[in-house]
Amino acid sequence: MVEANVMIQPVFELGPLVITNTVVTTWVLMGVLWLFAWLISGRLRLEPGPLQTTVEGIVVTIESAVAGVAPRHARQIMPFIGSLWVFLVIANLSGLIPGVHAPTRDLSATAALAILVFLSTHWFGIRILGLKNYLRHYLAPSPILLPFHLVSEITRTFALAVRLFGNMMSLEMAALLILLVAGFLAPVPILMLHIVEALVQAYIFGMLALIYVAGGIQSQQLRQ
């Protein structure tokens, strides 16, 4: 019974394309976030209410974190890292909703996020430094290290995907086992630990993404 509840299940098919519950949940979460952002952006006031104050506090906190790692390029990196952090928090916590599984407990979803970070690292590096200057850092301090740089790019992307998947899958399994044994009378502290761990995993993934992006930009600039 536990195994059946944590398995990735197809919802419907579009020809050869199989749409799983992970895809549906992901798109629903993205739609909710987009709708919320659209509604809050249309109701901004000079004297903010509680909701606007909360949102502004979140934005300022993320902006400070980005500026602490990449102060010269915080404005350029902030939209990507901020969106990634917000999505991960919502996605990780969505597993607490009855009948909903966190998309990040699916390796395909975490792999897609890791690949997005991989591509974004090169995108920001090439956009800010230029193609020639960005590619030059793969040959520093010696061209002999080129294979090691390439292997590092692949392994850290793989580790990024597997780390989030493994932790979120274990959280889902633990929460499901607790609910099966104790029902909805499960101890609140245990559920609180689930929330804390979900937030921690979102923070770690986002921070690693920020470090990778900032590292690709600043490593070359430090040598210039």
Q: Which residue, chain included where needed, has tokens 């798109």? A: 27
CA distances from 43 to 40, 124, 128, 162 (A): 5, 32, 34, 39
Res. 14 pLDDT band, cuts 50 70 90 = confident
pLDDT tens by residue, 113-155: 999 999 999 999 888 888 888 888 787 777 888 888 889 889 9
Cis peptide before 141 (omega within 30 of 0): yes
SS3 content of the chain, % helix, strand, coil (to 5): 85, 5, 15
- What is the reported pTM? 0.86
The distance of Cα 35 from the centroid of its chain, to the nearest Å, equals: 19
Strand bridging mode 17-20 / 10-14? antiparallel
Angstrom distance (rounded) from CA 172 to CA 163: 14
Q: Which one-letter DSSP state was computed for residue 128?
A: H
pLDDT tens by residue, 64-120: 999 999 888 888 899 999 999 999 999 999 887 877 888 998 999 999 999 999 999
Structure confidence at residue 182 (pLDDT): 64
Angstrom distance (rounded) from CA 22 to CA 169: 13
CA distances from 120 to 71, 194, 210 (A): 18, 30, 10
